[in-house]
Amino acid sequence: MSGTASTVAIVGAGHAGGNAAALLRQYGFDGVIVLIGAEPVPPYQRPPLSKTYLTGELDEARLWLKPSTFHAEHRIDQKLGAAVLSLDRAAKQVALADGHVVNYDKLILATGSTPRTLAIPGHDLDGVVTLRSLADADTLRSRLGSGTKLIVIGAGYIGLEAAASARRLGHDVTVLEAAPRVLSRVTGETVSAFYAGEHRTQGVDLRLDAKVAAFVGKDGALAGVKLDTGEIVPGTLALVCIGIVPEVALAQQAGLVCTNGVQVDDDARTSDADVFAIGDCACRPLPRYGRMGRLESVHNALEQAKLAAAAIAGKPRPACDVPWFWSDQYDLKLQTAGLMEGFDAAVVRGDPGARRFSVWYLKGGALLAVDAVNSMPEFLCGKKLAGSDRKLDVTTLRDPATDLVRFAADTLA
Ligand code: FAD
């Protein structure tokens, strides 16, 4: 399609959609690109919203994915503050809330996800919030004032990052987690225990096995969170961070195959050959793990943007990496390469007490994933090894004296 006057419409101007537009041009696509986003702002990075943007260390100007002149210079027609209400695959059109219709030859769905909410009494009280968008982060920032008592519900990445940021600002923070450990969906027990200890040391009142039953209000505003034990945890602001659901309404309405996200193939193509789905909303093949799955990360958004843009521009399929993630809490950088699910052995290198260590998750002797805390070199070596089925020499891996760069090179030779 490169060089032809066709139109690619992209629905969702977030991390995946914004990158897909830029990559189409980078890969030589010369047709019309229409980037349509429901939010009133150009594509931006979400990770700082729970980290340095929330603490005020990073200002808005540094959130944007591209400089302000980029889209005009690259002939990318941005339609912002424009929600797409429907998709007509037969007519190859999307209809916007303002009544406009955009025709396409190829369509990329990059609609992201929305925060899960708690359908419990009091969920609509003033002071019960979620964190997904820049607007949400601004609301949260404006409500974190003196005397705020923040209750974070959910000890996943975003909940713990927001808790750490609020503590750095000096606020009183309670974290309520229904599971017996923090980060239980994404890491093993050693890392969970380390982060639980760290948050407690930093002054967070972390409650595990704490199941939320209701939000309790006074004069229409939040006054606390009631647990299933009947205890009421006092608080003026509750941030609900209990995961996300993929935004698949358009795809479903248009009859695309959706199961836990829009199903796509290795090129990010949906069950309609002219429609692609990328980022948080897409359920993609994960060959290393023998299953389909959704990945909620910047790396995945960018990688799938590359896949879709390359397929549309007629370029070879770009190589894929193992999934990788990061989380910044206090002065700790957690970097994860691979998915640890189904591991049968875990090797700890370094010393959690020194706040610098890594955990290597193995299955049948091959590396599934590594978690590295303040250990960039271990993350980088683990990333290489997690992409391979080669068996690791566990005795050498366990040895603190092992030069990991050499170890990775020897293992992969
Ligand atoms: P999004 O970036 O959410 O973009 C989707 C866009 O589509 C949104 O702007 C939405 O408004 C728009 N949209 C949806 N429906 C329509 C419609 N019908 N019409 C028009 N527009 C529509 N990942 C990491 O790897 N590391 C991190 O440290 C990290 N931290 C995070 C912290 C926070 C607070 C959050 C919220 C996310 C974080 N993530 C992190 C996750 C990462 O930001 C997401 O995985 C990534 O943004 C996904 O990109 P996306 O384009 O699929 O979705």
Q: Are residues 21 and 90 in the same domain?
A: yes
For atom 53 of ligand 1, the residue with the nearest CA is 112
Cα separation of 408 and 149, whole Å? 47
Please check whether residue 165 lies inside any domain of the structure.
Answer: yes
Q: Are residues 133 and 233 in the same domain?
A: yes
Of 313, 343, 364, the residue at which a domain comes to its end is 313
Q: Are residues 123 and 168 in the same domain?
A: yes
Domains in the chain: how many in total? 3
- Could you say which residues of the chain have pLDDT below 50? 1-3, 5
For atom 23 of ligand 1, the residue with the nearest CA is 297
Cβ-in-10-Å burial (0-12, 13-18, 19+) of 91 comes to exposed
Question: Phi and psi dihedrals of 247, rounded to 5?
Answer: -90, 95
Residue from 50, 298, 379 to probe ligand 1 pocket by mutation (most atoms less than 8 Å from CB)? 298
pLDDT of residue 2: 44
pLDDT of residue 355: 96
Is the CB of residue 80 less than 8 Å from the CB of residue 13? yes
pLDDT of residue 3: 43
Could you tell me the pTM of the whole model?
0.96
- The CATH number for 163's domain is 3.50.50.60
Q: Are residues 261 and 295 in the same domain?
A: yes
Residue from 102, 111, 132, 300 to probe ligand 1 pocket by mutation (most atoms less than 8 Å from CB)? 111
Domain that holds residue 139: 117-242
Cα separation of 108 and 166, whole Å? 37
Question: Phi and psi dihedrals of 288, rounded to 5?
Answer: -60, -30
Query: Which atom from ligand 1 is nearest to the alpha carbon of 115?
Result: 36
DSSP class of residue 104 equals -
- The CATH number for 373's domain is 3.30.390.30
Nearest to 342 by CA among 265, 286, 285: 286
User: How far is ligand 1, taken at its centre, from the CA of residue 269, in Å?
Assistant: 19
Q: Are residues 89 and 127 in the same domain?
A: no
DSSP class of residue 186 equals T
Ramachandran region of residue 203, left (φ > 0), alpha (ψ -120 to 50) or beta? Answer: left
Q: Are residues 69 and 152 in the same domain?
A: no
User: How far is ligand 1, taken at its centre, from the CA of residue 383, in Å?
Assistant: 24
Half-sphere exposure of 91 (CA within 13 A, CB side): 9
Please check whether residue 319 lies inside any domain of the structure.
Answer: no
246 in ligand 1 pocket by Cβ < 6 Å? no
Please check whether residue 23 lies inside any domain of the structure.
Answer: yes
Q: Are residues 255 and 266 in the same domain?
A: yes
Indicate if the alpha-carbon torsion angle 313, 261, 255, 88 is positive or negative: negative
Q: How long a stretch of residues is the chain?
A: 413
